[in-house]
Amino acid sequence: MEQTNQGDSAEIRYEPDEKPPHLVSATLGLQAALLVLAGIVLTPAIVIRAAGTGESYLIWAVFAALLVSGFTTILQANRLGRIGAGHVLIMGTSGAFIAVCVTALAEGGPGLLATLVIASSLFQFALSARLSLLRRIITPVVAGTVIALIAVTVMPIMFDMLNEAPAGASAASAPASAGITLLVVAVLTLCAKGSLRLWAPIIGLGAGCFVAALFGIYDFSRVAEAPWFGLPDTVWLGLELSYQPAFWALLPAFIFVTLIGAIETVGDSIAIQRVSWRKPRAIDFRRVQGAVAADGLGNLLSGLSTTVPNTTYSSSVPLSQLTGVAARNVGVCIGIILMALAFMPKLTAILLAIPGPVVAAYVTLLMGLLFMQGMQIIMQDQFDYRKAVIAGLSFWIGTGFQNQVIFAEMLNNSTLGELLGNGMTTGGLAAIVMTLIMEATSPRRRRIKMTLDIEALPAINAFLRDLAERLRWSGSATDRLCAAGEEALLSLIGEPDEAEDAEPRQLVVTAQGRGTSLTLEFMVGAEADNLEDRIAVLKDRGGQSPDESDLSLNLLKHFATSVRHQQYHDIGIVTIQVDDARQNAPDRQQAA
């Protein structure tokens, strides 16, 4: 899910904490708002048109979506306690929810949709608070498989919309307008460079609408009748609290899609951190938790206002890269502009008048990219035959149930059939179950718990030597492993005078061996300093003599193959990998 490399952050002109001129912030905010406006408006349009819920509800849903998206974009930029990432993360309506939202509206109307969105948002808050606990279950293979299945669930709806045309219109109107839209967007995406590529969706939609107007299927009357400024006539539509079977049948699907939205938010918040600083920094997972919490709050507000859920937009990352501006002020400007656009019905009417075939062609390209993004996420996780089985089998199970070709007679017209009829639910559940099975049959993790102080060193050494003996490691590799464990412990303890004043803290060390590699996890309360960042500072010093306080970090960097430090609000996890290189370990003093 990490979409950029660390080298891209060197061209940043304004970091998050810096303040560019107001004109720069306003200009970039307007550009970004216009880029995402179509996505925010068209997602509820697709859902409500497909469900046939009515025009007045559509106007209300778009109005509410713009307000919620603008408010949560501001919240992402300016953190409120533990809510928000503190970075420019644009929020908008989520295309991943299209299929389940259409079903919810068809089964119980806006009230049922609102109740399901609210219920699933509570799950997102819980996920944010305990994000560290799911790091081994929600793996890239699981996330990528479910993301790919989003396209499988949405595309049948898009194929139906490709044929939509008003009565009496030319038979060529739908294929011509859809074909031109797809062609222009694809060509610009493939050939354009720089900022022009970001405008490809807008230009493609404009070209499709031009062709649609030539065939007389673009609704100019809708645009003409819409006022420039105003509020929607529809009032709040309320909630459906009867909890009928349709609610319980759809709730798992909504939770799964919410989980996928959270995974996407995690990826976007990691990526935006990588491109927002001039010098590389370790990912702060406390900010990732804040991004997920803000996403959950956005979904809660979406449910309360009876509109479709929202999520972070990945376009936030290339915008910061292309402009070199990652200042929070830009995020605030984007949010203010989106909220202002909610009160301009004329502008939203231009987008809502876009014919179904044009919208379907545009979304078809997006779903194709989403499918490939899912495949890319799957492949990044050291792909092997076991993960291939999980991804491949789960995908086709989800596809089969989505198309009602697996146990169709048994599941038809039953509550279980409604539950398993969504490909993301069945495919995602299959992927999680198989991941749990793989985790249970992998080499067992061993753990030891103790107080975080120097007196724990003999117990850690004995623990690690026993593991190395079980793995039949060489003596030099065992010494390297114990040395890495010792330096990790000393780095976490810190300076002696700091340790004396601190309350005793618990340390949990887990270890898992795979072949010639052993992975250690040191879990302790969240630390103020990140070891990865401190190691990066040591590398920047080059040949300079290290401070005495950095001696343990220098040794740790030398003995370990890799060091990662993930900081959450509730816990800090230092992950160290040590390999049995079958070579003599250098003298520790020489390494220092």
Are 349 and 451 part of one and the same domain?
no
Q: What is the CATH number of the domain that holds 572?
A: 3.30.565.10
Tell me the one-letter amino acid at 234: T
pLDDT of residue 535: 74
pTM greater than 0.75: no
Q: Compute CA distances 525 → 503, 506, 568, whole Å.
A: 11, 8, 9
Rg of the chain over all Cα atoms, to the nearest angstrom: 26
* DSSP-derived secondary structure letter, 215: T
Please check the confidence at residue 521 and state whether its pLDDT lies above 60. yes
> On the CB side of 434, how many CA atoms lie within 13 Å of its CA?
21
Pairing between β-strand 517-524 and β-strand 506-514 as defined by DSSP bridges = antiparallel
pLDDT of 72 strictly over 90: yes
Q: How many structural domains does the chain have?
A: 2
Give, as one character, the DSSP assignment of residue 291: H
For residue 555, is pLDDT > 70?
A: yes
Alpha-carbon separation of residue 115 from 110, 122, 251 (angstroms): 9, 11, 10
CB 158 within 8 A of CB 362: no
Tokens of 331: 């995020």
Is residue 583 very low, low, confident or very high in pLDDT (cuts 50, 70, 90)?
A: very low
Residues 364-410 pLDDT 10s: 877 777 677 678 767 765 567 888 888 889 889 888 887 777 776 66
Q: Are residues 153 and 27 in the same domain?
A: yes
CA diameter of the chain = 86
Indicate whether 54 belongs to any domain: yes
Greater pLDDT, 571 or 241:
571
- Do 468 and 574 belong together in one domain? yes
For residues 581 and 308, give the distance between their C-alpha atoms in angstroms, rounded to a whole number: 53
Q: Give dist(CA 162, CA 173) in Å, integer.
A: 10
Domain membership of residue 433 (yes or no) is no
Last residue of a domain, one of 331, 355, 379: 355
Residues 304 and 453 in one domain: no
Give yes or no for residue 91 having a pLDDT over 90: yes
Question: Has residue 497 got a pLDDT over 50?
Answer: no
- Of 21 and 2, which is predicted with more confidence? 21
Q: Name the nearest CA neighbour of 375 among 184, 91, 152.
A: 152
Region 511-540: mean pLDDT is: 76
Residue 568 placed within a domain: yes
Task: Map tokens 């972070």 to a residue.
Answer: 312
pLDDT above 50 for 3:
no
Kindly tell me the sign of the dihedral angle through the C-alpha atoms of 493, 494, 496, 500: negative
* Residue where the block lists tokens 């022009």: 196
pLDDT at residue 4, rounded to an integer: 38
Using the predicted structure, report yes or no on whether residue 121 has a pLDDT greater than 60: yes
Report the pLDDT averaged over residues 292-296: 92
351 shares its domain with 450? no
Higher pLDDT, 44 or 412: 44
Determine the 3-state secondary structure of 449 from DSSP: strand
Q: What is the pLDDT of residues 177-236, one digit of tens each?
A: 888 888 888 888 788 776 676 677 778 888 888 888 888 888 777 777 778 887 777 666
**Domain interval for residue 586:** 446-591
Assess if residue 201 is contained within a domain.
no
In the chain, % of residues over pLDDT 70: 84
Q: Does the pLDDT of residue 339 top 90, yes or no?
A: yes
Same domain, yes or no, for 127 and 20?
yes
Task: Please answer whether residues 29 and 346 qualify as being in contact, where contact means their C-beta atoms are separated by less than 8 angstroms.
Answer: no
For the chain, the first-to-last Cα distance in angstroms comes to 36
Give the Cα separation of 50 and 298 in Å (integer).
24
**pLDDT tens column, 22-69:** 887 887 787 678 667 777 887 888 888 888 887 788 888 889 999 999
pLDDT, position 7? 39
How many Å apart are CA 46 and CA 101, to the nearest integer? 10
Tell me, yes or no, whether 56 lies in a domain. yes
What is the rounded distance in angstroms from the CA atom of residue 84 to the CA atom of residue 292? 8
Q: Is residue 390 part of a domain?
A: no
List the 446-451 sheet strands across, edge first. Answer: 446-451, 506-514, 517-524, 572-579, 562-567
> Is 379 a domain residue?
no
| φ and ψ of 447, to 5 deg | -140, 155
Q: How far is residue 96's CA from residue 78's CA, in Å, rounded to a whole number?
A: 26
Cβ neighbour number for residue 404 with a 10 Å cutoff: 14
Tokens of 538: 């040591």
Q: Backbone phi, then psi, for 539, in 5-degree steps?
A: -65, -35
* Rounded Cα–Cα distance for residues 326 and 88 (Å): 6
What are 91's strand-pairing partners? 312
Are residues 16 and 119 both part of a single domain?
yes
**Residue ending a domain, choose from 304, 325, 355:** 355
Tens digits of per-residue pLDDT, 233-281?
Answer: 766 677 777 778 888 888 888 887 888 778 778 777 877 887 788 777 7
Q: What is the mean pLDDT of residues 72-86?
A: 90
Domain match, 461 and 350 both: no
Q: 355, 387, 415 — which closes off a domain?
A: 355
> Phi and psi at residue 405, in whole multiples of 5°?
-115, 0
Question: φ, ψ for residue 576 (rounded to 5)?
Answer: -125, 130
Q: Using alpha carbons, list the distances in angstroms from residue 518 to 441, 443, 448, 483, 494.
A: 17, 11, 15, 14, 25
pLDDT of residue 8: 40
Q: For position 502, what pLDDT does the model report?
A: 53
Indicate if 466 and 566 belong to the same structural domain: yes
In this structure, are 477 and 341 located in the same domain?
A: no
Tell me whether residue 369 is in a domain. no
Residues 255 and 115 in one domain: yes
Please state the length of the chain: 592
Please name the residue that has the structure tokens 């952050």.
Answer: 9
- For residues 149 and 378, what is the distance between their CA atoms, to the nearest angstrom? 13
- Alpha helices by DSSP H, 192-244: 195-198, 200-214, 220-225
Q: Mean pLDDT highest for which of 360-369, 472-481, 488-497?
A: 472-481
Predicted confidence at residue 588, as pLDDT, reads: 37
Average pLDDT, the chain: 79
Is 359 or 447 the better-scoring residue by pLDDT? 447
- Report the pLDDT value the prediction gives residue 133, as an integer from 0 to 100: 80
